[in-house]
Structure 1
Amino acid sequence: MVQITFKQNPVTLPGKEVKVGDQAPGFKVLANDLSPVTLQDTTGKVRLISVVPSLDTGVCSLQSKRFDQEAASLGDNVEVLTISADLPFAQKRWSEENGTNGITLLSDHRDLSFGEEYGVAMEELRLLARSIFVIDENDKVAYVEYVSEGTDHPDYDKAIEAVKALTN
């Protein structure tokens, strides 16, 4: 089981830890128009999944903007998804305010399906723990980072390198 802290306090992450080489677990989240989105909807592309607790916080906003900027250089066979437990309406507002167009924002607020399947649902907060997953076009996990302190940044460069290794 992954152990992390959020604001230096330990949090409980029920669910199974996802590891490199695993078949990516399925999930069902919501797009900003409230339509359901599953892992299978993006099969056939490399996915960089950036998980943030809330877009309305500094580190989460910066993380999402960084991957939005990187998305254009990753090619047409890569989809960059940002998943949080924020309401879809809040995600849409954030995207409009920040002018993002390289990432797809998805909400796990309804069922915490992604959070439970990927072991990132913080039980005490009903938020998702900061993490990064890179999944290949055949739904195999190629890279995982569970950020040990929820207010720290992930290793952006390693995540991008993992994506590029799958697309070159």
Structure 2
Amino acid sequence: MASVTLKGNAVTLSGAELKVGDTAPDFCLQNNALEEITLASSAGKSRIIATIPSLDTSVCHLETKRFNEEAAQLSGVAVLVVSTDLPFGQKRWCGAEGVDKVTCLSDHRAASFGQAYGVLISGGPLDRCLARAIFVVGADNKIKHVEYVSEIASHPNYEAALAAVK
């Protein structure tokens, strides 16, 4: 399991830590239209999957906006941002911020994505939120890059994720 902190305090994550070369676990998440989205929904594409605690926090806000800008330059790549925010809130936030190049997905129902990807926070103030992480998954569903951001309140290494998807 990955070791992460929130403002210097240890955070417990549920699920196994994924590694480069692993097959990405399938998932079933909800998009802003309440439709079910799975890994196969973006079959044939490389994916950047960014997990965040909530769109309504400053770092998550900036991260999602950054990936939205980067997604406009990426051909054949699906950029997915996953949180446990409700789909209604994600839709409101995306509309207000003009975010339309990434797909925001919600793991609010069962937190099964968080468990499968090893990012589900267990206990503390962010209980049942997702830790900040980046997974680059190839069209073959193999993980090409993974970063469990060691400090949840910090930004991920955008350049490493973008380099891995090119």
What is the match of residue 95 of structure 1?
Answer: 94
- Aligned residue for 1:74, secondary structure, equals coil
Following superposition, the deviation at residue 97 of structure 1 comes to 0.6
Per the normalisation by structure 1, the TM-score is 0.95
What is the match of residue 132 of structure 2?
Answer: 130
Spell out the pairing of 1:8-27 with structure 2 (5 A cutoff): 8-27=8-27
- Aligned residue for 2:146, secondary structure, equals strand
Worse-matched range after superposition: 8-17 or 83-92:
8-17
Following superposition, the deviation at residue 33 of structure 1 comes to 1.3
Which 4+ stretches in 1 moved above 3 angstroms? Answer: none
Gaps of 5+ in 1: none
Following superposition, the deviation at residue 160 of structure 1 comes to 0.5
CA distance in 2, matches of 1:18, 1:43: 20
Deviations 1:85-124 (A, max 9, x none): 1000110011001001110000001111110000000011
Spell out the pairing of 1:48-63 with structure 2 (5 A cutoff): 48-63=48-63
Following superposition, the deviation at residue 40 of structure 1 comes to 1.4
Task: State the AA in 2 paired with 1:121.
Answer: L
Per the normalisation by structure 2, the TM-score is 0.96
CA distance in 2, matches of 1:7, 1:113: 26
Spell out the pairing of 1:1-168 with structure 2 (5 A cutoff): 1-75=1-75, 77-124=76-123, 125-164=127-166
Gaps of 5+ in 2: none
Following superposition, the deviation at residue 43 of structure 1 comes to 1.6
CA distance in 1, matches of 2:33, 2:74: 26
Number of aligned positions between the proteins: 163
- Aligned residue for 2:55, secondary structure, equals coil
